[in-house]
Structure 1
């Protein structure tokens, strides 16, 4: 039985490869859903899932969740510039990383009173399990997710204020600097630590790439004038698609 199942998924995978190779399914083509493929090839949906996972791992297909979801024939990815901007502006630039050249939007969801895991608590200088407001971001270009971010703010800083939820209230969607200024906190500096990581299956699917693909995780933390952390975030950018470019303005040095 196991041998027949293995042969089945290999047969389905090869049939899809053939359609891609002969141009029947060109780059960008959306594949039928699993039940339709299972019916076409006379196999079970689990066999189809194995075949699709094999082709995803080979880089022939890409899969997306959310808006524009589905499995597609993967086109060769061109690398693009992802500029890092510093001005705190409204969406979609509030994360400071905005793809150029495509219609861009941000989907976000905030949750209050979330216990901080140990690494986040250490970055915020609070006790492990301390309550935070967590906000999950997805930056979309051409309705596909191109990067994600998870932001954490100590709940004690903003509770009972109009800016407790970054994506709600009068300053919904504004940057950390502007929101904190509304409640009398001046953000003086931000640190960013880029780290190479590999994407897990769920995040890879969200970003339309393969599990284990390389990404850059930017660990960003905002500090107030007293050196207190007021927000920290993990921003994930697929390394195969984007070159993160920092353009640092320098103050003019007066001549003597």
Structure 2
């Protein structure tokens, strides 16, 4: 049997065993050596099967480490773009930025004004990224009483695709949220980047 057919056959059998409940979500799989012995193939063939299953989000884990069964991404419905994320978050970037023309218009400032910035990764209970929130504001963060939101789509660049576990140039929802003070003036604006395979939008 050709090597390509062998590792694909093994990958398909691993999926069958996962679906049968042999390895639940989060459970580690056997080592490459153990599975190579079980299937009667070389470790490289098992490695290729693991790579294929990681690329298709069936397995999680890094090269040369134990892999685990991936938690399936939950399909969520976004109804309140200003709600707090109920699970873990991780702030991955806080470098100040100069306002682009778009950000300047959204915040009512002059282009090139220095803005505070935060990129926050919102994580599912299993640890997979559910969405990214990129926020910008001027000076200190101020309270808001309302917000405006616009829904669109965006093509993911390398950084955001990697964070979300998606391919570069994949399409994602982009919600532009601008928080407003009691006078209706913008105090903060954000891009919410949501993978289309994990979200439906109801605004």
CA distance in 1 between counterparts of 2:125 and 2:7 reads 30
Do the aligned residues in 2 keep the contact of 1:110 with 1:133 (CA within 8 Å)?
no
Of the three residues 178, 193, 208, the one matched with 2:150 is 193
Do the aligned residues in 2 keep the contact of 1:62 with 1:210 (CA within 8 Å)?
no
Task: Return 5+ residue gaps in structure 2 as ranges.
Answer: 37-41
Q: Does 1:232 align with 2:189?
A: yes
Does the residue aligned with 2:11 lie in a helix, a strand or coil? helix
Q: Does 1:151 align with 2:130?
A: no
Residue equivalent to 1:96: 83
Question: How many aligned positions are there?
Answer: 190
Residue equivalent to 1:119: 102
> What are the within-5 Å matches in structure 2 for residues 65-214 of structure 1?
72-74=68-70, 79-84=75-80, 95-98=82-85, 104-108=87-91, 111=94, 113-144=96-127, 145-154=129-138, 158=139, 164=140, 179-181=141-143, 187=144, 189-200=146-157, 202-208=159-165, 214=171
Task: Return 5+ residue gaps in structure 1 as ranges.
Answer: 1-6, 86-94, 159-163, 165-178, 182-186, 247-256
Does the residue aligned with 2:96 lie in a helix, a strand or coil? strand
Does the residue aligned with 1:220 lie in a helix, a strand or coil? strand
Does the residue aligned with 1:126 lie in a helix, a strand or coil? coil
CA distance in 1 between counterparts of 2:172 and 2:100 reads 22
CA displacement at 1:126 relative to structure 2: 3.3
How far does the alpha carbon of each residue in 1:9-34 deviate from its partner, in whole angstroms, 9 at most, with x for none?
775454333322344974525667xx
Q: Does 1:219 align with 2:203?
A: no
Do the aligned residues in 2 keep the contact of 1:28 with 1:74 (CA within 8 Å)?
yes
Report the TM-score, using the length of structure 1 for normalisation. 0.54
Do the aligned residues in 2 keep the contact of 1:9 with 1:51 (CA within 8 Å)?
no
Does the residue aligned with 1:121 lie in a helix, a strand or coil? helix
Does the residue aligned with 1:21 lie in a helix, a strand or coil? helix
Q: RMSD value over aligned CA atoms?
A: 4.2
Report the TM-score, using the length of structure 2 for normalisation. 0.64
